[in-house]
């Protein structure tokens, strides 16, 4: 049976996208297929042989298109970006009624490629595969990885690298930058059509409201606030929060120079191109808020009232963002610390702790892991949490406050809450580098092994205990690079 495509985006006006076929590659070879995901979205592995995953053959019912979008990159306006190295094959509706885009990344040039070759290297494809699947296992909204194939071709970057095509699954690929593209062209009809499409597809509850576009902004803002809070609570730094990398559906999208922090510092940045720390760990809520302001500008002309009323109402919605974020962050942090009945002062406890971790650049994940063990075992010495500090005096003072705060709770309930909030395994940068380097030499075992560990991030895995460890001094990764 052919794949049951239902390509709603391809039915939008023609200037929303460009019809384009993938460019075939020399010799496609399947590296990995995500069977669990295929089942979840209701497609059969047999419908995706390597030549389909490489773009050498098109499945029946697909309508390949490259999507148009614009965006602010590092705050600078770019009126046209678009899918320069990605092609949307089509959309499928899963057994749960949810719609998913199936997109090839690295499948050849489109009219949006500018000077790029439309191709992807194996390293970034592996990075995106591992990162997005790890995020999904952590319960954080994200695009997913359906497959990766090698192409048998080289792509030319700083040096020739093995090429790959990555198959991405997303609720949609509509970005803040998609709205900006039409807004910049003062194309009111297009904005109307896009907004209606997004409301039907992602936020049907907005249609019931008096001003649906205002309700849409509010719903997108809530999802962004919750998403960024979840990122920060596991030490994730997206790295390129440009408006074109900000998904309207609220999923983490475009895993380029992203990373999980090891030694904590709020100013931590990994991206080699983020020279001024615009997208540092602690800056992410502010940037999400700024991105939403750009979305609001695009939705403003659709408001039926006077310009003044519209502005006031949109501003009011935007002004709620810091509080929505703070609520999600505070609640999440309470779970990390095992505070079962959150109180208003809890955020101070969290802030004080982060200051301590930052002062001594303590490993973020390992700290919360050991704090959990301490609660479980009732034994501070055995947990090793102390050993993470060069000087533990500040930690002891903080710990006394925290223990006073939690003394009325059952420690078993506390430990359970902490276990569910503090992952043991995250995709550590040095492990990812190791997997990529090996894969470039045709050894895919470390990639497979890493994925295996990361599918159960909250479970004890004594046989994989080495994956918990921070990098040795010689293994530290200081910078990550874009997928390009």
- DSSP class of residue 410 equals -
**Choices 128-136, 240-248, 270-278, 314-322; region in contact with ligand AMP by CB under 6 A:** 240-248
| Binding partner selected for residue 267 from ligand AMP, Mg ion, none, CB under the kind-specific 5 to 8 Å limit | none
Residue 244 a catalytic site member: yes
- Answer yes or no: are the C-beta atoms of 41 and 169 closer than 8 Å: yes
User: Residue 41 or residue 87: which is nearer to ligand AMP going by CB?
Assistant: 87
Smallest distance from Mg ion to CB 450, Å: 24
Contacts of 339 (CB under 8 A, 6+ apart): 346, 349, 405, 406
Strand runs labelled E in 324-447:
none
Q: Which of 50, 64, 108, 118 binds ligand AMP (CB under 6 A)?
A: 118
Q: Is 227 in the site for ligand AMP (CB under 6 A)?
A: no
Q: Where in 66-85 is the site for ligand AMP (CB under 6 A)?
A: 81-85
User: Residue 199 or residue 227: which is nearer to Mg ion going by CB?
Assistant: 227
The residue from 244, 262, 274, 363 that is catalytic is 244
Q: Where in 30-49 is the site for ligand AMP (CB under 6 A)?
A: none
Whole-angstrom distance, CA of residue 355 vs CA of residue 366: 16
Q: Is 324 in the site for Mg ion (CB under 5 A)?
A: no
- What the block records as the tokens of 75 is 């705050």
- Answer yes or no: are the C-beta atoms of 103 and 167 closer than 8 Å: yes
Q: Cα dist. 209→205, 324, 389 in Å?
A: 7, 20, 52
**Choices 250-258, 338-346, 404-412, 425-433; region in contact with Mg ion by CB under 5 A:** 250-258
Which residue in 220, 192, 190 sits closest to 205, CA to CA? 220
Q: Is 101 in the site for Mg ion (CB under 5 A)?
A: no
**Choices 19-27, 244-252, 266-274, 467-475; region in contact with Mg ion by CB under 5 A:** 244-252
Smallest distance from Mg ion to CB 56, Å: 25
Smallest distance from ligand AMP to CB 257, Å: 9
- Answer yes or no: are the C-beta atoms of 70 and 80 closer than 8 Å: yes
Strand runs labelled E in 249-360:
259-260
- Answer yes or no: are the C-beta atoms of 176 and 243 closer than 8 Å: yes
**Choices 96-104, 238-246, 308-316, 465-473; region in contact with ligand AMP by CB under 6 A:** 238-246
Task: Please enumerate, as own/partner, the contacts of 298-302 that have beta carbons within 8 Å and a separation of 24 or more.
Answer: 298/176, 298/179, 298/180, 298/182, 298/183, 298/191, 299/179, 299/191, 299/195, 299/213, 299/214, 299/216, 299/217, 301/183, 301/188, 301/191, 302/188, 302/191, 302/192, 302/195, 302/213
| Binding partner selected for residue 81 from Mg ion, ligand AMP, none, CB under the kind-specific 5 to 8 Å limit | ligand AMP
161-175 residues labelled b (16+ CB within 10 A) or e (exposed): bbbbbbbbbbbbbbb
Q: Is 108 in the site for ligand AMP (CB under 6 A)?
A: no
Q: Is 297 in the site for ligand AMP (CB under 6 A)?
A: no
| Binding partner selected for residue 113 from ligand AMP, Mg ion, none, CB under the kind-specific 5 to 8 Å limit | ligand AMP
Q: Is 177 in the site for ligand AMP (CB under 6 A)?
A: no
Sign of the dihedral through C-alpha 210, 212, 217, 223 = positive
- For residue 160, the Cα-to-chain-centroid distance in whole angstroms is 28
Number of residues that bind ligand AMP (CB under 6 A): 19
Q: Is 117 in the site for ligand AMP (CB under 6 A)?
A: yes
- What the block records as the tokens of 442 is 């045709």
Smallest distance from ligand AMP to CB 251, Å: 14
**Residue located via tokens 């994956």:** 467
Q: Is 245 in the site for Mg ion (CB under 5 A)?
A: yes
| Binding partner selected for residue 117 from ligand AMP, Mg ion, none, CB under the kind-specific 5 to 8 Å limit | ligand AMP
Q: Which of 83, 226, 251, 254 binds Mg ion (CB under 5 A)?
A: 254
Smallest distance from ligand AMP to CB 147, Å: 19
- What the block records as the tokens of 476 is 């530290």
User: Residue 84 or residue 141: which is nearer to ligand AMP going by CB?
Assistant: 84
Whole-angstrom distance, CA of residue 421 vs CA of residue 417: 6
| Binding partner selected for residue 116 from ligand AMP, Mg ion, none, CB under the kind-specific 5 to 8 Å limit | ligand AMP
Q: Which of 256, 423, 427, 457 binds ligand AMP (CB under 6 A)?
A: 256
Interface residues with ligand AMP (CB under 6 A) are 81-85, 112-113, 116-119, 240, 244-245, 254, 256, 482-484
Interface residues with Mg ion (CB under 5 A) are 245, 254
Catalytic residues: 244
């Amino acid at each position: 049976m052919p794949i049951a495509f239902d390509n709603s985006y391809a039915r939008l006006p023609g200037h929303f996208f460009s019809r384009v076929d993938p460019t075939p590659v020399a010799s496609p070879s399947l590296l990995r297929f995500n069977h669990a995901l295929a089942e979840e979205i209701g497609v059969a592995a047999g419908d995706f042989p390597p030549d389909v995953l490489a773009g050498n053959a098109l499945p029946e019912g697909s309508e390949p298109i490259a999507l148009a979008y614009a965006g602010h990159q590092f705050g600078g306006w770019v009126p046209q970006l678009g899918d320069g190295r990605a092609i949307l094959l089509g959309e499928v509706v899963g057994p749960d009624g949810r719609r998913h885009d199936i997109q090839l990344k690295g499948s050849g040039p489109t009219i949006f490629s500018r000077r790029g070759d439309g191709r992807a290297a194996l390293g970034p494809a592996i990075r995106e595969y591992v990162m997005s699947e790890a995020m999904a296992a952590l319960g954080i909204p994200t695009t997913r990885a359906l497959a990766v194939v090698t192409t048998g071709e080289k792509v030319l970057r700083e040096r020739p690298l093995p090429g790959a095509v990555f198959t991405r699954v997303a609720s949609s690929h509509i970005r803040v930058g998609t709205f900006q593209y039409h807004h910049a062209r003062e194309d009111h009809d297009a904005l109307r059509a896009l907004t209606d499409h997004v409301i039907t597809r992602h936020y049907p509850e907005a249609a019931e409201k008096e001003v649906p576009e205002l309700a849409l902004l509010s719903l997108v803002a809530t999802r962004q606030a919750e998403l960024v809070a979840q990122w920060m609570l596991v030490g994730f730094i997206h790295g390129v929060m440009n408006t074109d990398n900000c998904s309207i559906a609220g999923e983490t999208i475009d895993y380029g120079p992203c990373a999980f922090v090891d030694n904590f510092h709020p100013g931590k940045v990994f991206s080699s191109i983020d020279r001024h720390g615009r997208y540092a760990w602690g800056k992410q809520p502010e940037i999400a808020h700024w991105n939403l302001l750009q979305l609001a500008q695009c939705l403003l002309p659709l408001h039926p009232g006077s310009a003044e009323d519209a502005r006031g109402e949109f501003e009011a919605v935007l002004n709620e963002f810091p509080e929505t974020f703070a609520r999600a962050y505070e609640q999440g942090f309470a779970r990390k610390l095992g505070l079962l009945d959150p109180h208003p002062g809890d955020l101070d406890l969290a802030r004080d702790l982060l200051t301590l971790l930052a002062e001594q650049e303590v490993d973020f994940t390992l700290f919360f892991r050991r704090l959990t063990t301490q609660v479980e075992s009732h034994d501070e010495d055995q947990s090793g949490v102390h050993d993470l500090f060069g000087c533990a005096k500040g930690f002891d003072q903080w710990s006394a406050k925290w223990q006073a705060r939690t003394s009325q709770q059952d420690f078993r309930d506390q430990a359970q809450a902490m276990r569910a909030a503090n992952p043991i395994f995250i995709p550590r940068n040095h492990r990812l580098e190791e997997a990529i380097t090996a894969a470039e030499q045709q050894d895919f075992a470390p990639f497979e092994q890493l994925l295996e560990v990361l599918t159960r991030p909250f479970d004890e895995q004594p046989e994989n205990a080495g994956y918990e460890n921070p990098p040795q001094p010689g293994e530290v990764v200081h910078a990550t690079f874009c997928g390009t």
